[in-house]
Amino acid sequence: MHTYGVMAGAFTFVHPRVLFAVTVVLTVFIKFYDGDEFLQMSAERKLLPWNVAAVTNWCLTTSAPGTRPLRCPRAHYCTCVSISSALFSSADRRLLFAGRQQSIYRPSSSSSRGAVVVALLLLLGGIEPNPGPLSLRLGLINARSAVAKAALIHDAIQQHRLDVLVVVETWMHASQPPAIINDIAPPGFLAIHHFRSDGQDGGVAIVHKSELKVSALTFVTDPQAFECVGIRLSATSRRINIGAIYRPPTSSAQGVAVGSFCAEFADFLDEFLSLPGEPLLCGDFNCPGSTGAMDNQLDDVLSDRCLLQLVNQPTHHAGNILDLIITLADANLVSNIEVTDIGLSDHSLVEADLNLCRSTPATRHLKYRNIKAVDPVRFAELIRDQENFTSPPGDVNAFADMLDESVMSVLDVLAPNGTRR
């Protein structure tokens, strides 16, 4: 990203009249040179970065005929700063002109607070506040015990520049000391856990940067066929509900049939989708299909709720897609999905970008008919002239189809389709 405007440090020790002088010089170049042409000329002559003090000294000793030069009552010092190209390529240059005059704005030689404000507005015209990060990097991994792999998880977060990491099968328990439970999060990160209440293995955690605005989600549904933990991630323009899921395989002691899991998972989805914000589900579902995709029963549960599974590469050493990322079918939330074997377990690391900026919704054109303008008498006359009245077919289904076509053709005459945004 470009850093717009002039460094703020140059404003601190500069007299207002010096700001006037710099403004005049900048605006004159904008007036007589195209922005790109001027920057190219400046680069060839090595004029950037400019020495603001030199420009100011030139302006203080040079003035137009009939005006007295600007002078400062005492010496002031400016450092050498770089001026962004955005200041010259700004599309809106109306601030360069004051009132109805046709010449470039030029402050008067007398002191004026209004002139100071206008000069500052001219210089600040290219400055844009920092909108924050435009995307976050999400990771998903089945660790197969994170108890002794904290250092490897830290390396994965650092090397892949992850902001949020979902870890399933942590094999951690609430009875373990905080030094072990919290060791999964590197410095600058926090971890939210869900521990398996009975038995061994299992466990789900979400590791996230401490600077992110995150809160834990609570669910009324108490699933028995799978484990889950959720967080709400609040960004500038989006609120994302992230749910981490781990379903034990059917062959394990805690596993159930895929059909039983899907029935319970459907109830959980109904609650999860009702939460304010955009849904994002990820985890190890252990529901491979016969052709490498996920099981048809899980696919039906997702499609019935307009959800889409996005991972299309094998995530397990056996060649199955077990680790899934699921969002709404029409959302632009997830992009740039990558699957990388980092040697942490028999599962690969799944990475994706979370887009925090909402896209501008596309303009929708709706079709409508002005049914109120239809004359019933005229409508009945036209319907009687249709083929389904003059020579109706003997088959019921054929008659229904012909009646539908007749009604639509009559409406096209009496109330044609209109469009609106």
Q: Where are the domains of the chain?
A: 9-126, 135-355, 366-420
The model's pTM is: 0.59
Q: Is 242 exposed, middle or buried (0-12, 13-18, 19+ CB in 10 A)?
A: buried
Tens-place pLDDT, residues 318-352: 999 999 999 999 888 999 999 999 999 999 999 99
Tens-place pLDDT, residues 240-282: 999 999 999 998 888 899 999 999 999 999 999 999 999 999 9
Q: Report the CATH number of the 135-355 domain.
A: 3.60.10.10
User: What pLDDT, on a 0 to 100 scale, did the predictor assign at position 2?
Assistant: 40
Q: How confident is the model at residue 368 (pLDDT cuts 50, 70, 90)?
A: confident
Kindly state the average pLDDT of the residues 211-227.
93
User: What pLDDT, on a 0 to 100 scale, did the predictor assign at position 172?
Assistant: 93
Tens-place pLDDT, residues 75-86: 444 444 444 444
User: What pLDDT, on a 0 to 100 scale, did the predictor assign at position 23?
Assistant: 56
pLDDT beyond 50 at 297: yes
Total residues found in the chain within this entry:
421
Taking the chain, what is the end-to-end CA distance rounded to the nearest angstrom? 35
Q: Which two tokens stand for residue 370?
A: 């002005």
Q: How confident is the model at residue 48 (pLDDT cuts 50, 70, 90)?
A: very low
Query: Using only C-alpha atoms, what is the Rg of the chain?
Result: 33
Angle at 217 between CA 160 and CA 315, to 5 degrees: 35
User: What pLDDT, on a 0 to 100 scale, did the predictor assign at position 229?
Assistant: 96
pLDDT beyond 70 at 290: yes
Q: Which has the closest alpha carbon to 413: 374, 368, 366? A: 374
Q: Which two tokens stand for residue 200?
A: 């061994």
Q: Which two tokens stand for residue 389?
A: 């009245």
